[in-house]
Amino acid sequence: MATFLYKLGRLSFRRRHVVALIWVALLTLAGVGAAGAPAAGNSSFSIPGTEAQKAFDLLEQRFPGTSADGATARVVFKAPSGEKMTDPGNKATVQDTVEELSDGSEVVRVTDPYQAKAVSKDGTIAYAQVSYKVSGMELDDAAKDALKDSAQDARKAGLTVEIGGDALQAVPHTGSSEVIGIAVAAVVLVITFGSLVAAGLPLLTALIGVGIGVSAITGLASALDLGTTTSTLAMMIGLAVGIDYALFIVSRYRAELAEGREREEAAGRAVGTAGSAVVFAGLTVVIALVGLSVVNIPMLTKMGIAAAGTVAIAVLIALTMVPALLGYAGRKVKPMGEKGKLLGRAKKEQDRPAKPNLGTRWASFVVRRPLAVLLLGVIGLGAAAVPATSLELGLPDDGSQPTSTTQRRAYDLLSEGFGPGFNGPLMVVVDAKNSDDPKAVFTETGDEIKGLKDVVTVTPAQPNKAGDTATITVVPGSKPSSVTTENLVHGIRDAGADIKADTDANVLVTGSTAMNIDVSEKLNDALVPYLVLVVGLAFLLLIVVFRSILVPLKAALGFLLSVMAALGAVVAVFQWGWLSGLMGVEQTGPVMSMMPIFMVGVVFGLAMDYEVFLVTRMREAYVHGEKPAQAVVTGFRHGARVVTAAAVIMMAVFAGFIGSSESMVKMIGFGLAIAVFFDAFIVRMAIVPAVLALLGRKAWWLPKWLDRALPNVDVEGEGLRTRTDRGDEDRELVRA
């Protein structure tokens, strides 16, 4: 592989005009496709195999035209102090609003609060529910404007009016903090390279890669039903790995220049050595992201595949576009050890004695005190992971919105007037098609549910035209995200199993609350198989890369430590409320149900990035004759500075998404940023060298039979070294 990539690097350097033209053409093509494509909607949220999804599908069949998965809006009215919603003036205002809302072309129906008994017991709060034919993200702007205008008209009459539900769902934005993250990355690159040109190369190539990836996602969003969050996460991961991969290539290029090689040769060797690490690091990230498909949640699968595609583009750009741009930069990219005028040192400091860099000094300290460093790192991460034992999972509702939004204020008004469970009603679907007396089954089901704990209201069964299926609305006494409500859902399903045994009727529980519970359980059940698949495949890949059993095992165990510590930090901030004000978390609650499995996938891929980049330099030194302890120090001397810069950049990019208005993006941005910190600076920079120092030569042990069976991918560039050294000897003979 090293030889092939060496040739690719030299070719890209030499044919830089063609390479640059190809990537610019791809960017232009993707941009044109994105500009002409229909706007992305909200990805349809279907969870195959869950009871809630089966109930939704049954409703579509038995209640045609009801748009069970269409958008809903709850227009909540509150009377002025000292007045009631039943007062003639207030009642007239509400009825005018209901009539106005009914005129929309996408409206299925609007309930009148006074006919539907949707007035609180104290008479101060009422609500009208609006049902639409399409989802919230598919609603026309005219429909949303009409909803807002009707509320504004009621406000002018003196009522407090807020709108809840998903009808006003908006495209999430990330805010200025994303730009700050990129700015921090630029500063780190300038400090690392001491040159604006060298620092600009990774940023430029990463932006080109992300531009192609996100534009392609935008162009295909409507055809493939990709949600708006898909492109945001692809941009987040693509930016981080794109900058890092280019950073490693440019750093190795400067190191090769420092050894006196010509620029084309240095580019070829940089791609042949560091490029091999980029390929395998990228493969681990792609495996982790594509592996999300085992969860069998279409939205999560699409997010993973889209992000994996962006990572693949980042790898290809690092291997081709980076050496091409190095050819354009020429002498503006200095050899390692030679700083540009930007930092005040224009010449290489050859006259001064070589001073060990910080990475060398740190590695030497760890090698001398490996056990103490190992214990300190493990205990520290273990302490950070403690909050993860209190992890509660759920999906966000309007209760997690900022208090400045009308959705959150409507949520609070409904809780005040009708109780916390009113914001998460359960829909029970009774399929009595195979029973002898459907009406009796509907009555029996309602009576059974009334006898369960935490039930506030059970509406009479509403049968379809055929009379074989009915819906029953159940209002819990607890808020939607509570454990008590989850227990109620399981209680109804248990009662439904008894009813089925007696009457052969199916009782299904659905609605957004039940769907959230089913999603959380599905993700929990999939976590272990996902870990086995992803870690297993990456473990086999790393055996091929490092030709060792213990090094990949240590890499996997270190990852588990860092991801558990990161989950602990997420629980502490988003569930317990620690530093929540600093992070812009206005409402604490359960952690996003897909957060753990998504974090596992992404963090594993990124953790293996640092493992590959750092340990391949150690492996390279070891196979070239250095003792194990010295190889650890050599690896840090060459790689610690660059890995540190890469980690800081990745943290800055991820942290930039904490400013997102989308709670899922905010949580993932924080989780990934803190996970990178734990993994890069504690696991890879402390625990890894400590373990390697303790293991000595055993770290690189591989059974002879396995050594013969494994393909030789030559990540260390041994074949490349032999090839170029032979070429140097031939050139010397020609000169002689």
Alpha carbon 503 to chain centroid, angstroms = 45
Angle between helices 550-570 and 595-623 (to 10 degrees): 150
Say what the pLDDT of residue 165 is.
Answer: 80
Beta bridge partners of 127: 76
734 vs 151: which has the higher pLDDT: 151
Angle among Cα 655, 659, 660 to the nearest 5 degrees reads 110
- 522-581 pLDDT, tens digit each: 888 888 888 888 788 878 888 887 888 998 888 888 888 998 999 999 999 888 888 877
pLDDT in tens, 41-74: 544 556 777 888 888 888 888 887 665 556 788 8
Q: Averaged over 105-132, what is the pLDDT?
A: 86
Quote the percentage of the chain above a pLDDT of 70: 89
- Strand ranges across the sheet with 72-78: 107-110, 125-132, 72-78, 160-165
Return the ∠ at Cα 302 (arms to 172 and 596), rounded to 5°: 75
pLDDT the model gives residue 346 = 46
> Would the pLDDT of 730 be above 50?
no
In this model, does residue 674 exceed pLDDT 90? yes
Take residue 713 and report the two structure tokens written for it: 């991918």
Predicted local distance difference test score (pLDDT) of residue 340: 52
Residue 732 reports pLDDT greater than 50: no
Q: What is the pLDDT of residue 351?
A: 46
Higher pLDDT, 83 or 292: 83
Model pLDDT, residue 338: 64
Q: What is the 3-state secondary structure (H, E, C) of 317-378?
A: HHHHHHHHHHHHHHHHCCCCCCCCHHHCCCCCCCCCCCCCCHHHHHHHHHHHCHHHHHHHHH
From 265-274, 401-410, 483-492, 673-682, the region with the lowest mean pLDDT: 401-410
Confidence of residue 715 (pLDDT cuts 50, 70, 90): low
Of 174 and 504, the one with more pLDDT: 504
Most confident range, picked from 138-142, 213-217, 427-431: 427-431
- How would residue 19 be classed by pLDDT, with cut points 50, 70 and 90? very high
Q: Which of 696, 550, 621, 656 is nearest to 185 (CA)?
A: 656
Residue 21 pLDDT class (50, 70, 90 cuts): very high
| CA separation for the pair 294, 533 (Å, rounded) | 9
Q: Mind giving me the DSSP string for 625-650?
A: T--HHHHHHHHHHHHHHHHHHHHHHH
Q: Which residues pair with 427 in a beta bridge?
A: 473, 510
Give the model's pLDDT for residue 347. Answer: 47
pLDDT at residue number 642: 83
Is the pLDDT at 169 greater than 80, yes or no? no
pLDDT-based confidence at 170, cuts 50/70/90? low
State what percent of residues in the chain have pLDDT above 90: 22
The answer on pLDDT for 358 being more than 60 is: yes
User: pLDDT confidence of 172, banded at 50, 70, 90?
Assistant: low
Instruction: Please state, in angstroms and rounded to a whole number, the distance separating the CA atoms of residues 353 and 360.
Output: 15
Is residue 662 pLDDT above 90, yes or no? no
Count the neighbouring beta carbons within 10 Å of the beta carbon of residue 233: 25
pLDDT at 350: 46
> Is residue 689 scored above 60 in pLDDT?
yes
pLDDT of residue 664: 72
Give yes or no for a contact between 248 and 5, defined as CB atoms under 8 angstroms apart.
no
pLDDT digits (tens, 9 = 90+) for 121-139: 899 999 988 888 776 666 7
Contact of 659 with 175, CB cutoff 8 Å = yes
Quote the mean pLDDT of the chain. Answer: 83
Mean pLDDT in residue range 153-176: 76
In terms of DSSP H, where are the helices of 73-195? 88-101, 141-156, 177-193
Tokens matching residue 403 = 């208090």
| pLDDT (0 to 100) of residue 129 | 86
For 666, the token pair is: 């905010």
Rounded average pLDDT over 142-158:
87
pLDDT at 657 over 90: no
The average pLDDT across 168-179 equals 58
Q: Is the pLDDT confidence value at 483 over 90?
A: no
CA distance 257 to 246: 17
> Cα(271)–Cα(278) distance, rounded to whole angstroms?
9
What tokens does 233 get?
A: 């996460």
Give pLDDT tens digits for 423-443. Answer: 888 999 999 988 888 899 999
In whole angstroms, what is the distance from residue 629 CA to residue 616 CA?
14
150 touches 97 (CB < 8 A): yes
Cα–Cα dist 300/290, whole Å: 10
Q: For residue 236, count CB atoms less than 10 angstroms from its CB and return exposed for 0-12, middle for 13-18, buried for 19 or more.
A: buried
What does DSSP say about strands 125-132 and 72-78: parallel, antiparallel, or unpaired?
Answer: antiparallel
Burial class (CB in 10 A: 0-12, 13-18, 19+), 127: buried
Does the structure show a pLDDT above 70 at 203?
yes
Residues 567, 285: Cα–Cα separation, whole Å: 19
CA 614, chain centre distance (Å): 25
Q: What is the pLDDT of residues 574-610, one digit of tens each?
A: 888 888 777 777 667 778 877 888 788 778 777 777 7
